[in-house]
Amino acid sequence: MAETIHDMLRELEPEIIGWRRTLHAHAESGWTEFWTTAFLAEALGRAGFHLKMGAEILDGPSRMGVPEDAVLEAAARRAVDQGADPKLVERMRGGFTGLVADLRPEPAPTIALRFDIDALPMEESGAAEHRPAREDFASRNAGQCHACGHDGHGAIGLAVALILRRLAERIPGNVRLIFQPAEEGVRGALPMVRAGVVDGIRAFIACHLGFRALHTGELILGLRDFLATSKFDATYTGVPSHAGAFPEQGRNALLAAATAALNLHAIPRHSAGATRITVGRLEAGEGRNIIPARAVMRIETRGATTELNDSMYARAQRVLEHAAGMYDVGFENRVMGGCSGARCDPAMVEVLRRAAADMPFFRPELIRDGVHFGASDDVSEFMSAVQAQGGAATYAMIGTELAAGHHNGRFDFNEAVLAPAAELLVRAVLALSAARA
């Protein structure tokens, strides 16, 4: 039977690569994954999966960093123009994208796999050496690009689904596949957790292509040093005035923001562990002879633990408020994203290790565990929720050569990783369901 799973995936491989390329060409950033979700929903529906969408899987008020209505509506129209089923797109109205697919209607699933499906709001390279451009599957959507490999994640999820369907007799319980929107900017997991998507889940696995695993045959079974993070926009509102005639009548939002930016970066390091803060963008003012009345900053904090990040966030808010006081301008803070820290459970790491041991694709000398992550993925929200109810979770990285780093317009990966990644997850699910039977 071991051969059979491998053979099934070998046979499916050209299709898996095709799905990846189709998803790549229809890149959609967070909360606008209308085409992507509809494509997956149709394929999973045909495979007999039980689908949940919209407000059933997302707690509306917990969604962070949702684009403006006009942006959502334009993206929804574009998806329909590109052939998405209008009925499915309607179910996602207002940016309720993403999908939960259960192998069977009952019992409640205890095993869940998560695949993030969003692209980045950036331009893809059109250079001839960039394979998606050369082989005609580059993003058709201006300013939207799959530069993190989530197109691959979606394709792997679909492949896992089709194989699990064929092996369903061997799976006594139920399995849930979570297709998460808006991972970039860490916005999509928390609303899914709050809608109960991982309630009752005892075993949870998520994977990322590449990142810290950059060779074919490499596998990181579990990571350490997740960073908890908060993403927020600070807006200062002052009063404009003539810079020559009546500067004293103005309230200078630019100076408040500049003062805040320097002092945010002056928050001291913490003895309890790593912290970060970045003012990544500062926009202010209109013209050289106008006292600037508005400034917006895009800021993030991170911490080695949720507590460390919370402390950075609280200090940042004090700096921002008091800079507003110094310049007598209004201050408003808007939370745009955020996630907790996480840890990988040894039990789930072992499940993946055993699954990989049966696959010659993974090279034993390149299978590792406990690798430093030093970044954030809001998979941590799912993992913490599963662990809080007594379950176990891990976040793995599956090795692949990259043409350029993550979040680069020339990002591309070696597609030979796709079928083996799906095989690894199928094997893990079979092992978990056998253990639970």
Residues that bind Zn ion (CB under 5 A): 148
Residue closer to Zn ion (CB basis): 8 or 27? 27
Residue 224: CB minimum distance to Zn ion, A:
18
**Of 153, 308, 296, 281, nearest to 234 (Cα)?**
296
Residue closer to Zn ion (CB basis): 109 or 149? 149
Place of tokens 């075993």: 203
Residue closer to Zn ion (CB basis): 75 or 148? 148
Measured distance CA(199)–CA(247) in Å, rounded: 58
Residue closer to Zn ion (CB basis): 28 or 102? 28
Residue 151: CB minimum distance to Zn ion, A:
10
Distances (CA, A) of 335 to 263, 294, 321, 431: 20, 18, 15, 40
Decide: residue 307, CB within 10 A, 0-12 exposed, 13-18 middle, 19+ buried: middle
Question: Are residues 421 and 356 in contact, defined by beta-carbon separation less than 8 angstroms?
Answer: no
Q: Name the amino acid, one letter, at 395.
A: Y
Q: What are phi and psi of 106, to 5 degrees?
A: -155, 165
| CB-based closest residue to Zn ion | 148
Residue closer to Zn ion (CB basis): 209 or 432? 209
Residue 236: CB minimum distance to Zn ion, A:
29
Structure tokens at 204: 């949870």
Place of tokens 């993974």: 362
Residue 389: CB minimum distance to Zn ion, A:
26
Residue 187: CB minimum distance to Zn ion, A:
12
Residue 377: CB minimum distance to Zn ion, A:
7
Residue 150: CB minimum distance to Zn ion, A:
6
The contacts of residue 74 (CB under 8 Å, 6+ apart) are none
Q: SS3 for 352?
A: helix
What is the DSSP-derived secondary structure letter of residue 68?
A: P
Radius of gyration of the chain (CA): 23
Between the two ends of the chain, the Cα-to-Cα distance in Å is 19
Residue 168: CB minimum distance to Zn ion, A:
30
Question: Are residues 76 and 97 in contact, defined by beta-carbon separation less than 8 angstroms?
Answer: no
Residue closer to Zn ion (CB basis): 63 or 153? 153
Measured distance CA(391)–CA(396) in Å, rounded: 17
Residue 211: CB minimum distance to Zn ion, A:
7
Residue closer to Zn ion (CB basis): 117 or 257? 117
Residue 407: CB minimum distance to Zn ion, A:
6
Question: Are residues 23 and 36 in contact, defined by beta-carbon separation less than 8 angstroms?
Answer: yes
Measured distance CA(316)–CA(263) in Å, rounded: 9
111-116/203-209 β-pairing: parallel
Residue closer to Zn ion (CB basis): 134 or 407? 407
Sign of CA dihedral 190, 191, 193, 197: negative
Residue closer to Zn ion (CB basis): 102 or 151? 151
Residue closer to Zn ion (CB basis): 182 or 261? 182
Alpha carbons within 13 A on the beta-carbon side of 430? 23
